[in-house]
Amino acid sequence: MGTALGVLVAAATLFVGSNAIAEQNTAALSNLQVTRASLENGLRVVMNQDDTVPTVAVSVYYDVGSRNEVEGRSGFAHLFEHMMFQGSANVGKGEHFSLIINRGGSANGTTSNDRTNYYQTLPSNELALGLWLEADRMRSLAITQENFENQRMTVMEERRQRIDNQPYIPSMLRINELAYGDYWPYAHSTIGDMQDLIDAPLGAVQEFFDTFYAPNNAVLSISGDFNAEDAMQVVQKYFGDIPARATPVFAEPAPPVQVSERTETMYDANATLPAFHIAYHIPPNRSPDHYALEILALVLGDGESSRLYQSLVKKKEICQDVAIGTDDRRGPDLFSVWAVMASGHAPKEAQNAILAELAAIADKGVTDRELEKAKNRIRAAFVFGLQSNMARSQRLAEFELYWDDANLLKLELDYYLAVSAEDIKRVAGTYFEASNRTVLNVLPGADPASEEK
Partner 1 sequence: MMSWHRIRLAGVGLSVLLLLAACAGSKAGSGPEPQSAMGAQGEAQPEPQAPPAPSEAKDMSLPPVHITELNNGLQVNSIVADQLPVVYATLVIRSGGESDPAKLPGLSGLVAQMLKEGTTKRSGAKVAEEIEFLGADLWASSDEENTYVGVRALTEQFDSAMGILAEVAGTPAFRAKELEKLKRRELDRLALSEREPRYIARRTFYRQLYGKHPYGTVDTDARAVKRVRRTDLERWHREHFVGKNAFLVVAGDVDPERVSEAAQKTFGSWNPGKRAVPTYVDPPRPSDRRILVVDRPGSVQSVIYLGNLAIARANREWIPLMVANQVLGGSAASRLFMDLREKRSLTYGAYSAISERVDVGPFVAYASVRTEVTNEAIGAFFEHLERISEEPPEPEELLNAKRYLSDSFPLKVDTPGKLSELVVELRTFGLPDDYWDRYRQSIRKTSASEAQYVARNYIRPKDSLVVVVGQAADFAQSLQQFGPVTVVSPDGELKAQFEDKRPKAGNSGAQRGPIH
Q: How far is the CB of 97 from partner 1 (least distance, A)?
A: 3
Stretch that binds partner 1, among 97-105, 346-354, 358-366, 421-429 (CB under 8 A): 97-105
Give the residue among 213, 215, 245, 242 at the shortest CA–CA distance from 42: 215
Cβ burial, residue 63 (10 Å; 0-12/13-18/19+): buried
For residue 410, the one-letter residue type is K
Confirm if 234 and 39 have CB atoms less than 8 A apart.
no
Which residue lies nearer to partner 1 by CB, 154 or 265? 154
> Of residues 41, 376, 407, 430, which one binds partner 1 by CB under 8 A?
376
**String of contacts with partner 1 for each residue 5-24, x by CB under 8 A:** -----x--xx--x--xx--x
Which residue lies nearer to partner 1 by CB, 309 or 432? 309
For partner 1 (CB under 8 A), the number of binding residues is 133
Residue 200 CB neighbour total at 10 angstroms: 22
Q: Which of residues 194-223 bind partner 1 (CB under 8 A)?
A: none
Residue 259 CB neighbour total at 10 angstroms: 6
Q: Which of residues 227-256 bind partner 1 (CB under 8 A)?
A: none
Rounded to 5 degrees, φ, ψ at 446 are -80, 150
Residue 123 sits in the site that holds partner 1 (CB under 8 A): yes
Q: What is the CA radius of gyration of the chain?
A: 24
Which residue lies nearer to partner 1 by CB, 42 or 412? 412
Residue 50 sits in the site that holds partner 1 (CB under 8 A): yes
> Of residues 35, 139, 142, 349, which one binds partner 1 by CB under 8 A?
142
Q: How far is the CB of 185 from partner 1 (least distance, A)?
A: 14
Residue 272 sits in the site that holds partner 1 (CB under 8 A): yes
Residue 147 sits in the site that holds partner 1 (CB under 8 A): yes
Residue 188 sits in the site that holds partner 1 (CB under 8 A): no
Which residue lies nearer to partner 1 by CB, 313 or 397? 313
β partners of residue 276: 339, 441
Confirm if 299 and 370 have CB atoms less than 8 A apart.
yes
Which residue lies nearer to partner 1 by CB, 216 or 274? 274
Which residue lies nearer to partner 1 by CB, 216 or 292? 292
> Of residues 48, 68, 74, 111, which one binds partner 1 by CB under 8 A?
111
> Of residues 48, 59, 74, 189, which one binds partner 1 by CB under 8 A?
189
Q: How far apart are CA 67 and CA 74, in angstroms?
A: 9
Q: Are strands 319-326 and 333-341 parallel, antiparallel or unpaired?
A: antiparallel
Q: Which of residues 301-320 bind partner 1 (CB under 8 A)?
A: 301-305, 310, 313-314, 317, 320
Would you give the end-to-end CA distance of the chain in angstroms? 73
Which residue lies nearer to partner 1 by CB, 189 or 258? 189
Distance of CA 199 to the CA centre of its chain: 28
Residue 74 sits in the site that holds partner 1 (CB under 8 A): no
> Of residues 37, 169, 266, 421, which one binds partner 1 by CB under 8 A?
169
**What is the side-by-side strand order in the sheet with 319-326?**
262-268, 437-444, 275-282, 333-341, 319-326
Which residue lies nearer to partner 1 by CB, 216 or 299? 299
Stretch that binds partner 1, among 78-86, 209-217, 242-250, 348-356 (CB under 8 A): 78-86
**What is the DSSP code (8-state) at residue 250?**
P
> Of residues 177, 289, 321, 349, which one binds partner 1 by CB under 8 A?
321
Q: Is 365 left (phi over 0), alpha (psi -120 to 50) or beta?
A: left
Confirm if 336 and 277 have CB atoms less than 8 A apart.
yes
Q: How far apart are CA 15 and CA 126, in angstroms?
A: 46
Residue 379 sits in the site that holds partner 1 (CB under 8 A): yes
Q: How far apart are CA 188 and CA 174, in angstroms?
A: 9
